[in-house]
Amino acid sequence: MSFKLFFLSTFKGLKNTPKVENKRDALFSDFQQYSELKDSADLKLYLELEQYVSSNVFKKERTDAQTLKFAGSPESKLIAEFEKLDSDPKFKDFYVTKDSADFQKYQQLEKGSLIKEFLELRDYVQSKKYDADKKAFKPKGDETFESTAAHKKFERYQELVKSADVLFWTEFPNQKMYKNYKEIVNSPKRVRYEELKKEIESEAFVARKEFLEDPNRWEKTEAYHKEKTYNELKGQLRFQVYEKYRKDGADFGFFESHELLLEDNFDEGKLDETKWKPISQFAEKSIGKNFSKAGDLQAYTNGENILQSGGVLQLTVKKEQVDSLVWNFPVGFTPVSFDYSSGIISSKQSFQLKSGVLEAKIKYQPNKQLVDLFCLSDDQNKFRLNLLEAGTVCRFGLNQADTAKFESLGGLSAGQFYIFSVEWGQGQIQWKINNHVIYSVQQSVPDAPLRINMSSIVVEHPQQLPHQFEVDWIRLYKKK
C-alpha cells in the first residue's frame, strides 16, 4: 500500500470527493466565463467605465451636481441682470415704440418716395437757387411766373407740407416715445439686454436652469448613468468572476494549457457510440470481436452488459451461460462456454493521445473474485497505464513488456466514489486521487497513442452477483 495514500486516508488529508468535484466544476465554470469575457466589448466598456468612475473628473462632476443650486449660480445672476434691465421703463417704452404701428408707418415713409420727394422740394424752395430763379424770371408775352417749373415745384411742396403723411412724418420724431427710442436703440445697455435675452431664452440655458432647479439633477447626468452602468456590470456574475481572478489567474493554469478532448457524463441513457465501442481495441484490431484470455472465467458480450443508470456507467458481471472464444498460446482461439458474462468498452480511435491527462470519477468497490480495470493502453496492449485496478488486488501503476511498476491501494472506503487521474508524457507519469498526488515516476512513455479501456474480469467464482463496475464521468485532456 502507498504510504502517502495511507497517511492521507488515515489522517483525513484526502479531501471529500464531492467537495473536490464541486470546487473543480466551479473553477471550470469560472474559467469559461472568464475566457468568454476576456477579449469582449463588454469588458472593454467595463474597464473604461471603471477608470472613469475612479477619476477625479468624475468625482468633481458628482460633487458639483450634488451640491450646485440655482440660487447664487451664474445663471441666476444673468437672469437677475436681465430682469433689472427689463424692468427699466425706458426699455419697456423702447419696445412698445419699436413694435407700434406708428413706428412701422414712420419707417415705411422714411424709406418711401414721397418723403424723398418732399425733402428734395423743401431743400429747393428753401434754397438760394429758388430765390434766384424767381428774380431771374422775365415774362415773355402772356407768360407768368406761376407757369414756370420753379413755381410748380413750390406748389407741389405746399401740397406735400399739408398732406397727412408728411405731417405725420415731420411730427412723429418730436414725440417723447420716439426720442426715448433714439436714445436706447444703439446704447450699450440695449446691446447687453439683447445678449442676455438671447442667452436666457436659448435651449441650453433653459435646460441648465431646469437642471439646477431639479432636486434629482444628479440622476439625470451622463456621469450618473455611466456610474450606474458600471455598477450594473460589476454586479453581474461574469464580472464578479473576472474581479476574482483579474490579479492572479494562476488557478486557471491547467485549463489554459489543456484542451478537453473527450468528456462523457453518461446521462444519455445509452452508450454514446461516437465515443465508445463495446470491444477491446486489441480484439477489434485482431479478429473483430471480443474474446477472453486463458484463465478468465467471463465472456465479454457485445454491449449487453453495459448500462447507464442515473447518469452512471455500469459494467455489469452476471451469472449466465455465454459462448465465446478463448485465446490460448500456441493453440490459438478455441470456443468455450462461460458461466459468467461481463462488459468491456474502449474509446474510439479519434480519442487517443501520446500524452495528456485522464480523469474519471469511479466507485471504489473491490471484489476479491473480480478485477475492475480502468486503464490506458496502446492498440497492441504492450503498454498499459492503470488508473485503477480493484479486486483480487487493489493497485495502480504501469505495465509494459519489460517493466511493471505498481503501487498498492488501501485506505479508501469501499462503495464510495473517488476522482482518479493520471498525467503522462515528457518523461514523467503522475497519479492523483481527489486532486492529491499519490505517486509519480520518471518514466519514458512509448511513442504510441493510448486509448481508454474499462472492463470487469472474473478470476474466481464470485459469491455475490450481479456486480457493477461504476463510473460517473470521464474527461480526457490534451496539451494545447
pLDDT tens digits, one per residue of 273-309: 999 999 988 888 889 899 999 999 999 999 999 999 9
Interatomic CA distance for residues 53 and 339, integer angstroms? 76
Phi, psi angle pair for 340, to nearest 5°: -135, 145
Secondary structure letter of residue 72 according to DSSP: T
Q: Which residues contact 161 (CB under 8 A, 6 or more apart)?
A: 118, 122, 167
Q: What is the pLDDT of residue 10?
A: 45
pLDDT at 273: 93
Whether the pLDDT of residue 3 is over 70: the answer is no
Q: Which of 52-56, 77-81, 442-446, 449-453 has the lowest mean pLDDT?
A: 442-446
Q: For 24-39, what is each residue's pLDDT tens digit?
A: 999 999 999 999 998 9
Catalogue the long-range contacts made by 422-425 (C-beta closer than 8 Å, 24 or more residues apart): 422/357, 422/358, 422/376, 422/385, 422/387, 422/396, 423/356, 423/357, 423/358, 424/355, 424/356, 424/376, 424/385, 424/450, 425/354, 425/355, 425/356, 425/479
Is 16:437 a contact under the CB 8 Å cutoff? no
Lowest-pLDDT choice from 136-145, 213-222, 392-401: 136-145
Single out the residue of 357, 350, 362 nearest to residue 456, CA to CA: 362
Provide the pLDDT for residue 446. Answer: 79
Grid cell locating 469: 463496475
Residue 165 CB partners (closer than 8 Å, separation 6+) = 109, 114, 115
| Cα-Cα end-to-end distance for the chain | 35
Q: What is the pLDDT of residues 163-182, one digit of tens each?
A: 999 999 999 999 999 999 99
Under a CB-based contact definition with an 8 Å cutoff, are residues 394 and 456 in contact? no
Instruction: Tell me the CA distances in angstroms from 475 to 17, 253, 261, 270, 321, one per residue in order.
Output: 16, 17, 8, 18, 35
Q: Which of 240, 234, 215 is nearest to 53 (CA)?
A: 234
d(CA 220, CA 233): 19
CB 413 within 8 A of CB 337: no
Name the average pLDDT for the chain.
Answer: 90
**Domain ranges (residues) in the chain:** 74-213, 261-479
The C-alpha atoms of residue 450 and residue 432 are separated, in whole angstroms, by: 19
CB-CB contact of 326 with 292 (8 Å): yes
Is the predicted pLDDT of residue 41 greater than 50, yes or no?
Answer: yes
Q: Round to whole Å and give the CA distance between 276 and 263.
A: 11
- pTM comes to 0.69
| Closest residue by Cα to residue 251 from 19, 24, 13 | 24
SS (H, E, C) 270-290: CCCCCCEECCCHHHHHHCCCC
pLDDT in tens, 340-353: 999 999 999 889 99
Of the candidates 361, 388, 366, 369, the one whose C-alpha atom is nearest the C-alpha of residue 453 is 388
Q: Is the pLDDT score of 57 beyond 90? A: yes
Q: What is the mean pLDDT of residues 98-117?
A: 93
Helix, strand or coil, per DSSP, at residue 413: coil
Confidence of residue 364 (pLDDT cuts 50, 70, 90): very high
Q: Which CATH number fits domain 261-479: 3.30.420.40, 3.30.1360.150, 3.30.565.10, 2.60.120.200?
A: 2.60.120.200
Task: Please tell me which of 27-31, 138-142, 360-364 the model is most confident about, judged by mean pLDDT.
Answer: 360-364
C-alpha cell at 400: 509494459
